[in-house]
Amino acid sequence: MKPGSAGSERTLGRVLGKRAVIAVLAAAVAAGVLIPLVVLRLAQGASSGSPGSAGSPQQVAAPRLHPLRQTVAGERVTSVAAGNGVVVYGTEDGGVYVTSAHAGPRRITVLAGRVVKLAFDSRGRWLAAISARSELAVVDTAHAASPVIRHRIRTDSPPGLDIPPDQLAIDPTGSRIAAQTGRIGIYDLHGNPSPHWLDGTYECSGARDMAFVGTEFIAAFDNCANIWNASTLRMERQVYFPSTGNALVGHGRILYGTLSHALLLDYRTTSPLPSAAAAPGQPHPTLGNIIADKTISTRRSPIQPVADDGRVAAVLHDARLTFWEPASRRILTTIALPFPATCASTTKPAPPAQFSTSFSPDHKTLVIAGFCPPASLDSSTEEGRRHSTYRRWMLAYPSLRR
């Protein structure tokens, strides 16, 4: 093909496309009829151009999975988190280690007991780590010589029942921690050691995800979300979702998974509290807008939201990772995880595999961890943990050019 011939063919295609539209319109006028559907299709074809032109959808290659460490310094890895250019590991003996593409594991702190949760703030500077004994450590990763802030996480459970947090979030200043131990407590790391227990409702309990977002603190539950003022810790809004499912706090929106669909929900366009909820007999405040939805599978099983960078969203379904573009509602690519969707078990029905994820604050790295309990042991015991199946991977998050 001669240089410039491809551009000439595209130009000729556009000219012929426009002429076809004009011809159809002329015929319609002459016949006294209107053919909007044909005209619309021809116009769309003329404007979209040939494959590879500016109007064509971008192609996204499936990211490659990179297996992560199972042990660090001879200890089993119990938790992992993605930071900006680094991966942080927590271990069975309480060690917290940071690794990068250019350096091996470096221990940055030690907790009393097994590390159960790691979390970065929204900018990737502050790292929070918590142990099975509810000891908290906060590390300033921008200044390695800075002292580690230590705190004790409390629980509202009966005395003697020490429940470590299952959700953890840290604000961008590194001065406040949100930890869920049945209820959500906000801890001022430089002030009163007692937590401020957030107000909630019975139907909005057991947060799936929570985060400090600008001037707000947001907790997303199975069927609703609560939004508090991050300064006063007063609840400002409450949102009820279209159905029951899994939720993840994103960019001014919530990524939500049902049994077949993934949705993006706008939690900002809602009725405010307390007026909307205080009037007797009035319906709950509901979402003002569903930004986008996508059918992920016709097989009804829970869809787990994974990540949202503002342009590409990711969900997990039956051990398959699906990336989709809300703007066009199209699936970009899928990855089958090398992990069983259903765990081996001596009981019926066999339990589904459990997956946890960590998305780096710069939205470049995604970490996924798969877990299956032993077939006939309690996974909460030391022996059960030894016989459980854990696998962890890291991948570069796909992005779309702006």
Q: Give the DSSP letter string of 130-198.
A: EETT-EEEEEETT-TTSPPEEEE---SSPTT-----SEEEE-TTSSEEEEEESEEEEEETTS-SS-EEP
**Cα gap 343→349, rounded to integer Å:** 10
Burial of 294 (0-12, 13-18, 19+ CB in 10 A): buried
Other CB atoms within 10 A of residue 22 CB: 12
pLDDT band at residue 165 under the 50/70/90 scheme: confident
> Is the CB of residue 127 less than 8 Å from the CB of residue 113?
no
Burial of 37 (0-12, 13-18, 19+ CB in 10 A): exposed
pLDDT band at residue 338 under the 50/70/90 scheme: very high
* pLDDT for 41 beyond 60: no
- Judged by DSSP in three states, 2 sits in coil
**Cα gap 84→339, rounded to integer Å:** 26
pLDDT band at residue 115 under the 50/70/90 scheme: very high
pLDDT band at residue 401 under the 50/70/90 scheme: low
More confident residue, 45 or 128: 128
> Is the CB of residue 109 less than 8 Å from the CB of residue 129?
yes
Considering the entire predicted model, what is its pTM? 0.80
Can you give the pLDDT at residue 184?
A: 93
38-42, 55-59, 169-173, 301-305: the lowest-pLDDT one: 38-42
pLDDT band at residue 96 under the 50/70/90 scheme: very high
Other CB atoms within 10 A of residue 378 CB: 10
The chain-wide mean pLDDT, for the chain, equals: 81
Residue 152 C-beta-side C-alpha neighbours within 13 Å: 7
Percent of the chain surpassing pLDDT 70: 77
Average pLDDT over residues 133-141: 94
* pLDDT for 350 beyond 50: yes
Average pLDDT over residues 324-346: 93
Phi-psi region of 277 (alpha: psi -120 to 50; beta: other; left: phi over 0): alpha
What DSSP designation does 41 have? H
* pLDDT for 13 beyond 70: no
**Cα gap 356→117, rounded to integer Å:** 11
Average pLDDT over residues 305-319: 95
Residue 96 C-beta-side C-alpha neighbours within 13 Å: 26
* pLDDT for 334 beyond 90: yes
* pLDDT for 116 beyond 60: yes
Greatest mean pLDDT range, 30-34, 36-40, 65-69, 180-184: 65-69
Distances (CA, A) of 267 to 93, 156, 256, 306, 354: 40, 29, 11, 18, 27
* pLDDT for 2 beyond 70: no
